Chains A and B, each alone.
Chain A
Amino acid sequence: MSSLTEKDRPIVQLLLNTGTCPRCILRFCCVGSQALYRRPYKDLMKDLKEFLKNNQEKEDTVCLDVVDPPCKRIRLEHVEEGPDELSHNGALQQIPSVNDESTAMENSAVKVCNVCLGILQEFCEADFVKKVCHQVNSADYQFTSFVFSVSLPPQLSVREVSVYRYFFITYMRMKESNCGIKLGLSLAKDDIVQLKEAYKWIIHPQLSEELGVPADGKSLFEVSVVFAHPETEEECHFLAAACPDCFKPAKNKQSVFTRMAVIKALEKIKEEDFLKHFPCPPSSPKNLCVALEIQCNNGAVFVAGRYNKYSRNLPQTPWIIDGERKLESSVEELISEHLMAEFKAESFNFSSSGREDVDVRTLGNGRPFAIELVNPRRIHFTAEEMKGLQQTINNSSDKIQVRDLQLVTRSAIGRMKEGEEEKTKTYSALIWTDKAIQKEDIAFLDDIKELKLDQKTPLRVLHRRPLAVRCRIIHTMKAEYIDEHHFRLHLKTQAGTYIKEFVHGDFGRTKPNIGSLLNRTADILELDVESVDVDWPPTLDN
């Protein structure tokens, strides 16, 4: 094994004898060659044995010193110094002598690794890969790449620390002082290959081949596996006693022992405390980890468009009070229904550039909207298919119509919301007056430009909005005389203007208002949105 050098020998020997699997050994030796990890398990085992044997045969003073005598010396010291030194529960166990090497190694070939608990053993094999891919394929998702995310049980961090920090570092220190030789070990923690990283090195190519698509960190399609090891679940608990402030119970987490909390505690805990409660090296478990869940998730897709509303009896979102639906259907349901079916999504989030009341129509180019489809199974749609979808929606209802239906990115939503605050809208209102009017009486309205209004929060929404005064501008108006008590008013206003209140005055809380301008009592009979002046989403040839 070319990547292993002389200085690794003691580590390899030590870990092999105490139940660590070959791949974890490679990790602790800071071997960075991905190809090595991908070699079959049996081959790796053989290679390690070869490595140890070869070095033994060489006549190398350093070797001999390092391997043989110190072991015996430690045992001697152990006897001399008596129980005090090693009164810790499970601290530095006796290092088996070189002679036991072969048997120990044979045993460890079948033993579950005491560091990775089988992750770098069983769970790198073709069987597991097949199992994962079977799940993925049966979930029936459309994807062109994948990201594989793995959730490891927190005990692994504890065991890693136990081996790295307390086992062979201490062992090395002892050997250095015993042999009087500087082994020159500069085992920086950062050089050790992380378990997750090594695991991905091994499993990504296998998954990639089986699924037929590349692994890509930025992929929207996520395959996630959660591993657990119930046998050793309680191993972390001693940390709670040693570092109680790291473990705050969070409401939505089942266990307080999250990976992050455990890692934090491991950094804080004092050496003596750790050694008191946790065996070094860690014990070999009886069982492997279990893969609890294998789940697939696709990133959300966004569909945007513009809708027209032709009904005066349709809310934008479902109107349900105390579990009872007050009005049938809604704009969002009529649009989303078909999208949900086609994209096979789990759920949706509907948003639009502003809203209109139940009894207000939306005419003209319509109002921009966007729907986030959560965890869709189908994500690829051509422009043709989108047009077809648009047609389906339009055929299904005469209450709403959609146009410019297209796929957009998440960032595009920002543009739509911008429209809600900043862009102008035009309206058409049918107005009634108590006292008779003549054409001349309303003509002056056409000449009023940039009329400033002060609108207190309308009474009709006051129960659910804060009380405030809004300054809004009516840019232009145009009045169309109908008869002595009716006329139609077209207006272009700033976003956020309450039109109904501008007409009837809302108990005098919107000033000025049509009533005050005409010196009459006025009320609004009908309101239509003529246009929402936002130039998004891009217009398509519909």
Chain B
Amino acid sequence: RICVITLAEAHPLLQSGKTIKSINYQISANCSRLQNKVSGKSKRGAQFLTELAPLCRISSSDGEEYTIYSCIRGRLIEVNENILSNPAILQEKPSTEGYIAVVLPKFEESKSITQGLLTQKEYEEVLLKRLNSS
């Protein structure tokens, strides 16, 4: 099951007033997501991601830096290079052209991963709770 990682609705970067200054796929001295190369059907050579693996770091013009995490385990298939050349689409079309990365989990883990995610409804409930409590 292919997974596409995007910014969630409520992410600060998607709130009004924020402009993106830069996006960096170099997450450490040895690791750049841009250097991810996969080959073949089984996507050999892919960087393996855990839930907390950083995908990229985004800096906004007001000085804040946000790290975007994978959130699921699996092989990194590709990162979206279009947002490097055109950061605007990240905010304009976060759920489609502005995606962050494509990840392919292990077939056996597919089901358990899906179950660990929230449905749209469940997410909206979480947001509501957050609003009410703050």
Contacts and interface: CB of A to CB of B under 8 A. Distances in A.
Interface of A: 456, 459-460, 462-467, 505, 507-508, 521
Nearest to A513: B97
A459 B102 contact: yes
Nearest to A516: B97
B1 interface: yes
Contacts of B41: 464-466
Contact of A462 (B40, B77, B89, B97): B77
Interface string B85-97: 0000100000011
B133 interface: no
Closest 5 interchain pairs by CB? Answer: A508-B97, A462-B2, A459-B2, A463-B2, A467-B38
Given A459-B102, A462-B77, A463-B104, A508 B43 contact: no
Nearest to B98: A508
A457 to B, nearest CB: 9
Given A459-B102, A462-B2, A467 B97 contact: no
Nearest to B46: A467
B77 A508 contact: no
Contacts of B38: 466-467
B104 A507 contact: no
B82 A462 contact: no
B7 interface: no
B4 interface: yes
B77 A467 contact: yes
Highest count of chain B CB atoms <10 Å: which of A459, A462, A464, A467: A467
Contacts of B80: 507-508
21 contacts: A456-B78, A459-B4, A460-B2, A462-B2, A462-B104, A463-B2, A463-B104, A465-B41, A466-B38, A466-B40, A466-B41, A467-B77, A467-B78, A505-B97, A507-B4, A507-B97, A508-B80, A508-B82, A508-B89, A508-B96, A508-B97
Interface string B59-94: 000000000000000000110101000000100000
A158 B114 CA distance: 65
Interface of B: 1-2, 4, 38-41, 43, 77-78, 80, 82, 89, 96-97, 99, 102, 104
Contacts, number: 37
Nearest to B36: A467
B39 A507 contact: no
A324 to B, nearest CB: 15
Highest count of chain B CB atoms <10 Å: which of A462, A463, A466: A463
Contact of B1 (A456, A463, A505): A463
A4 B89 CA distance: 96
A331 to B, nearest CB: 24
A462 B102 contact: yes
Contacts of B77: 462, 467
Contacts of A505: 96-97
Highest count of chain B CB atoms <10 Å: which of A464, A508, A521: A508
Contacts of B1: 463
Contacts of B102: 459, 462
A515 to B, nearest CB: 9
Contact of B39 (A462, A466, A521): A466
A507 B96 contact: yes
A235 B4 CA distance: 65
Contacts of A467: 38, 43, 77-78
Given A463-B2, A467-B78, 15 more contacts: A456-B78, A459-B4, A459-B102, A460-B2, A462-B102, A462-B104, A463-B1, A463-B104, A466-B39, A466-B43, A467-B43, A467-B77, A505-B97, A508-B82, A508-B97
A541 B104 CA distance: 51
A463 B99 CA distance: 18
Contacts of B104: 462-463
A59 B126 CA distance: 119
A508 to B, nearest CB: 4
Contacts of A462: 2, 77, 102, 104
A257 B78 CA distance: 52
A76 B39 CA distance: 78
B73 to A, nearest CB: 15
A61 B39 CA distance: 83
Nearest to A505: B97
